[in-house]
Structure formats: structure tokens, C-alpha cells
A and B are shown apart, each in its own frame.
Chain A
Amino acid sequence: MIEVGTILDEKVFYLDRALLKEYADASGDQNPIHQNEEFALSVGLPNVIAHGMLTMALAGKYVSDFAGGSAHVLEYSARFIKPVIVPAGEKVDLTVSATIAEIDGDKVSLTLSATSAGVKVLGMAKAVVRL
């Protein structure tokens, strides 16, 4: 049984360079900062970074799983506050959890937490689902 304040189990997703390439192809966002280390460094980034929308898509999977499927997700929003940094040859974590913020009939609002390497990467992340 959930109630306001219930904290949902966390789930860890893993990102690597291959996943960034796969997301670039699936989303159509081929910006080289997500694939090419030399380019990323040349524009002042610490390394290749994940697409903010990939981070949001993975946290969205967490929301869909809670809701019982993508068709139950009514609203979803997030601010991209820090990049997920993806060095070559490494798998980095995206750790997602959520707290029940509001229950209104069959509509449930979640406040999401998303961190990578201990750093908060999404801010103001919220979703509304219909259970």
C-alpha cells in the first residue's frame, strides 16, 4: 500500500558509450558531445556526457514500471542540472528512486531522485501517473 511520503525502491541503470550511441540513433540526436571525446573536451566538457534526454528516458522507465506501463504516464518533467559523465570503457550508474508526493483518486504524483556517481543529475523531477 502506498501513501504520501512512501519511498519507492531504487533502481540502478548503467550507461556506457555504446548505450549513448544507441540512444543517439534511436532519438536522432547525433550531437558529438555525446559520442566524441575529443570534441567534448574541445567545448569545455570534462568528458563525453550522456544526453539529458537519455537520463530522462531511463528515469521514465522507472516511472512506467511503477505505473504499470507507459500508457499510464500522464505528466513527466525534469531539469538537467548536472551531466552524466561517461568515460570510455566504463559503465556509470544512474540511480533512480521516488517518493509519493500526492494521491488524488487514481492519480499519483511522484517526486523523483536521479543521481550518477553520487551527484544529483536531474532537478525538480516529477511525474503524474494514473494507476
Chain B
Amino acid sequence: MLNPDSVGSTFAGTESITVSQSEIDAFCAVIGETDTAIAPPTFTIRITLSQFEEILTRPNIGLDWSRLVHGDQKFEIFSPVKAGDQLTCSATIESYRVAAGNEIVTVRSDLHKGSDLAVSAWSTLVVRA
């Protein structure tokens, strides 16, 4: 179970992540995107989900990642992501509820390039009963 005291808190992710052209190329190849100068709109999920896993499964937070399903996802893109960008990620646990034994948690990630917010992304994650 998620520690209810963590709701409303913001957690810093690991040190900054540098986006490589090969990562963007691989993501573009899957969806048939030929313009690889800019990362596709959902590319940053690659960073966000792994950061969520690292943060939300910390012993003091306690989410069970093994029974997780993805409920919904939203991106707001303020500055498109390109190769060479150095991004830092934070995660804010915005809401948490239990319904029919399922835990439903909404987490926001903010990806910053330096001091500028580049992408905010909201994920609703459901831990199945």
C-alpha cells in the first residue's frame, strides 16, 4: 500500500538525464516518424515511468509496481525535447484513493531543462487488488 503521508509531496528523481539522438531515433522508428529532430510527444514517458518506478517503490512510499496498470496519461509540452537536452525529473503524488481494493494514484512529473519547465506529465496508475 502507498504511504498516505506521501500524498501531496514532491520527490526529486535521480541526477539529470541527457537525451541521446539514438533514443529518439529508436522511438521514432516504432511509430514511423521520419522527422527525428524533435522527440515525439510521448517520448518522455521513457524517462517518466522509470523515474516513477524508482521513486514510488522506495520503502517509505511503498507502491507495489508488480501489479500496476496504466489508467490514463496526459502531457503538456512547453518546450519540445531534442537530443542533447539535459533533463531533471521530479514526481509529485497528487492524489490517492482505494476503490474496490484497487489503489488509484495520480502522479505528476515535471521535466526541467535547467530552470525551465519543458514537459509536465500526469499518469494515473492503478495497483490491482
Question: Which residues of A are interface residues toward B (Cβ below 8 A)?
Answer: 13, 19, 22-23, 25-29, 52-54, 56-58, 60-61, 63-64, 69-71, 73-80, 124, 127
- B-side contacts of A54, CB under 8 Å: 30
Bound complex: CA of A124 vs CA of B74, how far in Å? 11
- Can you list 17 residue pairs at the A/B interface with Cβ under 8 Å? A25-B26, A26-B26, A26-B29, A27-B46, A28-B46, A53-B42, A53-B49, A53-B70, A56-B73, A60-B40, A60-B42, A70-B41, A73-B77, A74-B77, A77-B122, A79-B72, A80-B71
Within 8 A of A (CB), among B32-48: 32-33, 35, 38-42, 45-46
- A-side contacts of B100, CB under 8 Å: none
- Chain A interface, DSSP helix/strand/loop, else mixed: helix
A53 with B40: CB separation less than 8 A = no
Question: Which residues of B are interface residues toward A (Cβ below 8 A)?
Answer: 23, 26-27, 29-33, 35, 38-42, 45-46, 49-50, 69-77, 80, 122
- A-side contacts of B42, CB under 8 Å: 53, 56-57, 60, 76
Given A27-B45, A28-B46, A70-B80 in contact, is the A61-B31 Cβ separation under 8 Å? yes
Chain A proximity of B104: nearest CB distance (Å): 13
- B-side contacts of A26, CB under 8 Å: 23, 26-27, 29-30, 46
B46 with A70: CB separation less than 8 A = no
Given A26-B46, A64-B41 in contact, is the A80-B30 Cβ separation under 8 Å? no
B33 with A79: CB separation less than 8 A = no
B70 with A70: CB separation less than 8 A = no
- Minimal Cβ-Cβ distance residue in B for A79: B72
- Minimal Cβ-Cβ distance residue in A for B81: A70
- A-side contacts of B77, CB under 8 Å: 73-76
- Minimal Cβ-Cβ distance residue in B for A62: B31
